[in-house]
Chains A and B, each alone.
Chain A
Amino acid sequence: MTPSSDLVVQTKQLSKIFRVGFWGKRVTAVDCLSLEVRRGEVFGFLGPNGAGKTTTLKILMGLIYPTSGTARLFNMDMGDPRAKTRLGFLPESPYFYDYLTSREFLRFYGHLFGLWGAVLSKRVDELLELVGMTHAKDLQLRKFSKGMLQRVGIAQALINDPELVVLDEPMSGLDPIGRKEVRDLILRLKESGKTVLFSSHILHDAEVLCDRVAMILKGRLVACGRVTDLLDQGASHQVELVVDRLTSEGLDHLRPLTDKVVMQGDRMLVVLKSQQQVGGALEIIRSAKASLVSLNPQKGSLEDLFIREVKGLQRPPENRA
């Protein structure tokens, strides 16, 4: 049990039902979601497009009111202005005030936190430096590329030196360099002791960055925990071997241990059922005087887990158990 003072974000049975269209059809965007984000961790909030990630973040930011359930930031009720002073938020594909220059833009947000004068100027310069935008400080935002906008957007989220930084899809729409920069920035925030909560549908980013992740599908939590635990849980533990010049006799011995054998001329790719088979397989290869080219334990990825969960959800409920 985490002490409540260490809980930065906490939602309990959070639900949001939207009414859409003329007849007010009910659409459940978030369904009984209970989450906890602890101090100092990088928390990834994962799910496909339309899973309810943005809606959940918007509820936390006070942009949307939940239909039922509670959400607390820093152990304070939603909408408490004290919680908002300790928070930084970057919305998904933001546009911002394009008639402002980046410096005016950051100064404006500083004013909203009661920062003025020399203190603010110093903070703005530091932030522009941090996100590498010093060269464009007097350029109007309308002339910015998407990557530049994302960077001043992050600077905007950090203006009050927040304890919790919430980023909605910070990597989407960026080129590989831009994505790497955002990744580095998130790691730097973690180093400086901040809690980072970000949503993404790019699982690789989450795998690299996050301490813990939550996966949601159709508004429901389907998996939550440490990245390594989740990967172990669902991983197949298969091992891939590449072998040269294995005789057909040797292959016959090997076959019972394998899941799959792919022949490519003299070379073959062998997939072992589990790591327990490795010793036996190596023995057979040695006695058949074949040579081992490579041995790769197959690591599960969040993507595998994700696809499994999606498929599980699409199956009719009686088969799910």
Chain B
Amino acid sequence: MKILSIALNTFRENLRDKLLYNLLVFALLMIGSSVLLSRLTLGEFHRLILDLGLGSINFFGVLIAIFVGIGLVSKEIEKKTIYTIVSKPVARYQFLLGKYLGLTFTLFVNTVVMALGLLLVLYAQDVPVEGMLFKALALIFVEFMVITAVALLFSTFTSATLSAIFTLAMYVIGHLTADLKTFGAKMDDLSRGILNGIYYLLPNLERFNLKGHVVHHLEISGSDLMLIVVYGATYTAFLLFTASLIFHRRDFR
């Protein structure tokens, strides 16, 4: 119940944040502009709209997750608002989970709004909508959950600026981890071991990317999809658990 109150308060905080609306407007503009860009291409305009639309949703969602996420905890400490929460009968992990759930809910609403924007464009342009699109959107949302947890983890022990940089780096690396493995395969045993270690430690965000499937009408099996969702959930739980441990030991000076 306490977690839920904090989550609702966080959601309210997000709703009254101008940054969120700016990003959302830009995302919708990008999705809309895919119509204009598709005019420049020959024949492939369905693909372009889908690719650009999903890309925009992903990109702006990640921006929201990072830039709102890093402020979740560090802003509370900076403004000393956390003092009044922690001195109430609220465990620190409850505070952390509440903040996380609040932003996740914000992201969910945002994803829905952006998806509706994309569907509107698709409908207006007579692009057939397939089930795979929704699977792709669902996995984009799972990726947001992982990124938010990464931002939250960093913001429990470092400043807002550094967490933004670290999380952004994590996002970029997370989409390139497959290259680490390919790279390692060509090296000696020790280097391969190290690169494999990093590969398994870092989140493999490319797994959440189904844009190719949507655009090229590829299928994905239900069990594969399930596995990816479980992977995302486990990774998120791991990040939140680590964040709670760090947060529990922290002095609020």
Contacts and interface: CB of A to CB of B under 8 A. Distances in A.
B87 A99 contact: no
B216 interface: no
A161 to B, nearest CB: 13
B14 to A, nearest CB: 10
B138 to A, nearest CB: 31
Interface in A91-147: 91-97, 99-100, 104, 108-109, 111-114
A113 B13 CA distance: 20
A84 B87 contact: yes
Which of B5, B12, B84, B252 counts the most chain A CB atoms within 10 A?
B84
A85 B86 contact: no
Nearest to A18: B253
A84 B89 contact: yes
Interface string A65-100: 100000000000000011011010111111111011
B2 interface: yes
A112 B81 contact: no
Nearest to A93: B80
A142 B247 CA distance: 28
30 contacts: A18-B251, A61-B83, A62-B87, A63-B87, A63-B252, A64-B252, A65-B249, A81-B89, A84-B87, A84-B88, A84-B89, A85-B89, A89-B83, A89-B84, A90-B84, A91-B83, A91-B84, A92-B80, A93-B80, A95-B79, A96-B81, A96-B84, A97-B81, A99-B13, A108-B9, A109-B84, A111-B1, A112-B88, A113-B88, A113-B89
B9 A114 contact: no
Contact of A100 (B12, B80, B82, B252): B12
A95 B13 CA distance: 14
Contacts of B83: 58, 61, 63, 89, 91, 94
B16 interface: yes
Contacts of B246: none
Given A58-B252, A62-B87, A160-B88, 5 more contacts: A63-B83, A94-B83, A99-B12, A100-B12, A112-B2
B16 A99 contact: yes
A112 B90 contact: yes
A109 B88 CA distance: 8
Contacts of A94: 80-81, 83-84
Interface of B: 1-2, 5-6, 9, 12-13, 16-17, 79-91, 249, 251-253
Contacts of A96: 79, 81, 84
A115 to B, nearest CB: 10
B222 to A, nearest CB: 40
A65 B80 contact: no
Contacts of B91: 81
A84 B84 CA distance: 11
B87 A97 contact: no
Contact of B1 (A85, A93, A114): A114
Contact of A63 (B1, B2, B86): B86
A150 to B, nearest CB: 13
Nearest to A166: B87
Contacts of B17: 99
Contact of A64 (B13, B84, B251): B251
A96 B83 CA distance: 10
Contacts of A92: 80
B89 A156 contact: no
A111 B80 contact: no
Contact of B80 (A64, A91, A99): A91
Which of A63, A82, A94 counts the most chain B CB atoms within 10 A?
A63
B89 A112 contact: yes
A64 B87 CA distance: 11
Contacts of A85: 89
Contacts of B84: 89-91, 94, 96, 109, 156-157
A97 B80 contact: no
A96 B13 CA distance: 12
A318 to B, nearest CB: 35
A258 B13 CA distance: 68
Contacts of A61: 83, 86-87
B80 A95 contact: yes
B253 to A, nearest CB: 7
